[in-house]
Amino acid sequence: MLIDAHHHLWQFDPVQYDWIDDAKAILQRDFLAPQLREIAAENSVDGFLSVQARQSVRETRDLLAIADREPLIRGVVGWLPLADSGFSEASDELTDHPKLVGVRHVVQDEPDDRFLDVANFNRGVATLAGCDLVYEILVYPHQLPAAIDFADRHRDVRMVLDHIAKPVISRKRFDEAWKQNFTELARRDNVTCKFSGITTEVRDPSWNIETIRPYWNVAMDTFGPTRLMFGSDWPVCLLATEYSRWLATVRELASSLSEPEQAAVFAGNAIREYRLA
């Protein structure tokens, strides 16, 4: 079984998705359920988790509406205004939806490195345990110290770290600062990690499996096969790799694991953490 724990859908609009600029021209088109079905058929994917790509309640509603019609989408990680006074109203409307399995905020784009300390935001996050929702941590390495404190503050909230916190990947230099804080965060047993969104962080003109292997080794050594899950970050991954190449790379990296461990990384951990049917 294969569950892709991280992909995106959008009907492209240059205003709504202003982060998709001309340098990312390959992404300036629609990626919706028909394209997702093609990916599934070509790669034998049994299910996907759709993750928000803009900070909008409307997008969360749209993703849930697509998920209602598309059985391949097992769950949605949406956006809710966790720090705003209108959070309760939005929460009441959407958190009972059976396919809303988590919430994410694009902390990586916040100018304050300690955004995760903001009191109003933390009050919103604290309610997620009662809703049985995951909180997804999207940060850069320099924001990991705040993420460590954040995970300690919310021990009863299930958390998933996106994209192994986006280390700077280069064949010439390993990101040791990332490793130190990433390893510390992994000691929090309420945090699981996605091995996803990695090839777009490579600073070299090209990459191969040996470029990625040192980061896989750290992720596996720290989170282990019971707390690491596969994700594609499709279609964003198209900036650096085709879907099939990334899947083959992670399968090869995981080939030394036992069959039960591989089953956990490629499906079981996502099913458990996100309470997927």
Whole-number Å distance between alpha carbons of 276 and 269: 10
Segment holding 49, helix H or strand E: strand 47-51
Report the distance separating Cα 198 and Cα 22, nearest Å.
21
Q: Is the CB of residue 139 less than 8 Å from the CB of residue 107?
A: yes
pTM reported for the whole predicted model:
0.96
CA distance 26 to 132: 36
Tokens coding 165: 């916190």
**pLDDT for the residue numbered 171:** 87
Report the run of H or E that residue 78 belongs to, with start and end.
strand 73-78
Residue 63, both tokens: 């993703």
Residue 241 CA to residue 246 CA, distance in Å, equals 7
The bridge status of strand 134-137 relative to strand 159-161 is parallel
Q: Residue 230 pairs with which residues in a beta bridge?
A: 195
- Going residue by residue through the chain (277 aa), what tens digit of pLDDT does each one get? 999 999 999 999 999 999 999 999 999 999 999 999 999 999 999 999 999 999 999 999 999 999 999 999 999 999 999 998 767 776 778 988 999 999 999 999 999 999 999 999 999 999 999 999 999 999 999 999 999 999 999 999 999 999 999 999 998 899 999 999 999 999 999 999 999 999 999 999 999 999 999 999 999 999 999 999 999 999 999 999 999 999 999 999 999 999 999 999 999 999 999 999 8
CA angle, 95 then 97 then 101, to 5°: 70
CA distance 275 to 87: 23
- Domains identified in the chain and CATH numbers: 3-273 (3.20.20.140)
> Are 240 and 207 in contact, with CB atoms under 8 Å apart?
yes
Consecutive H or E run containing 94: helix 87-94
Bridge partners (DSSP) of residue 75 are: 49
The pLDDT, as a whole number, for residue 86 is: 67
Q: Residue 163 half-sphere exposure, CB side, CA atoms within 13 Å?
A: 25
